Structure 1
Amino acid sequence: MTLADYLKASVSRSWEPGVFDCCFFPGEWAVSWGRGDPMATWRGRYRSDRGGLRFIKRAGGLVELWERGLSSIGVERVGKPQAGDVGVVLAVNDAMRPEPVGAIWTGSKWAFAAKRGLAFGPATSLAAWGPR
């Protein structure tokens, strides 16, 4: 599956904590790299936004959580993301406050799942990983 195909298929999906959210959207894309599931230990761990936030907090934050998940499948951090890489970015939420979210770099913008649907835009990268 190409990144364009994945993004097209994701446009019609609805926010569902623990299934299709800011972690599982890029996590499922990372599965397509053929190295395993970086989300394996997260699956079934939360079913609400509040539960997801608690899970992330207990893990030491989103960057730490992603670092563990991606390193478990042999994917390392990259300095400058390339199209198709995943990352944790600061994006503006519905309350107009920046918050860390998992995202996919399209080559020109970050794509991330939001409660209102799939969003695309500039964001500050906190960390990125890619299948080099």
Structure 2
Amino acid sequence: MNLGEFLKSPRPAFDYVAHDCSRWLDRWLVNCGHPSVMDEIGRTYDSERGAMRVIVRGGGLLAIWTRNMEGIGLMQTEEPQQGDAAIMAVPTDDGYNRTTGIWTGRRWVSVHRHGLIFGVGSPLAIWRV
């Protein structure tokens, strides 16, 4: 499945069990043939509070993803190519202001409670997918 198909494909409703920003990006990575970062993280959660606990204990979303992207062999880059992954600084409805993103080739896309958002935020780290 290419990126356009991935972005157009049906997604479950946002929740902290099957579809949040981390699980969404993880599905993209697995689709691209990489191991699951969520498996590398090794922690599960099923609520917003549980997700925040994992993030805080892990040193923040950026620290968690940096460790685990390296763990599956993905390297950081400065200039994104279509399909590359990132941790973004962007206002979020939980107030944490960090989320995952995928570069479309023109802008960043991320998933939030109300669906996909495009073109917002600044990448804090980018990985070549």
TM over 0.5: yes
The structure-2 alpha-carbon separation of the partners of 1:98 and 1:37, relative to structure 1 and needing over 3 Å to count, comes to closer
**What TM-score do you get using the length of structure 2 for normalisation?**
0.89
What runs of 5+ residues in structure 1 fail to find an aligned partner? none
Q: Which residue of 1 aligns with 2:87?
A: 88
Counterpart CA distance in 1 for 2:18 and 2:42 is 8
Aligned to 1:5: 5
Deviation at 1:78, TM superposition (A): 0.9
Q: CA RMSD in A?
A: 1.8
Q: Report the alpha carbon displacement of residue 16 of structure 1 after superposing the two structures with TM.
A: 1.4
Please state if 1:113 is matched with 2:114.
no
Aligned residue for 1:26, secondary structure, equals helix
Deviating beyond 6 angstroms after TM superposition, the runs of 4 or more aligned structure 1 residues are none
Specify every segment of 5 or more residues in structure 2 that has no aligned partner in the other structure, as ranges. none
* TM-score normalised by the chain length of structure 1: 0.88
* 1:43 to partner: Cα distance: 6.1
Identity %: 32
Which residue identity lines up with residue 79 of structure 2 in the other structure?
Answer: K
Q: Kindly indicate which of the two structures has a greater share of residues assigned to helix.
A: 2
Matches of 1:64 and 1:94, distance apart in 2: 21
Query: Contact (CA 8 Å) 1:89, 1:126: kept in 2 or not?
Result: yes
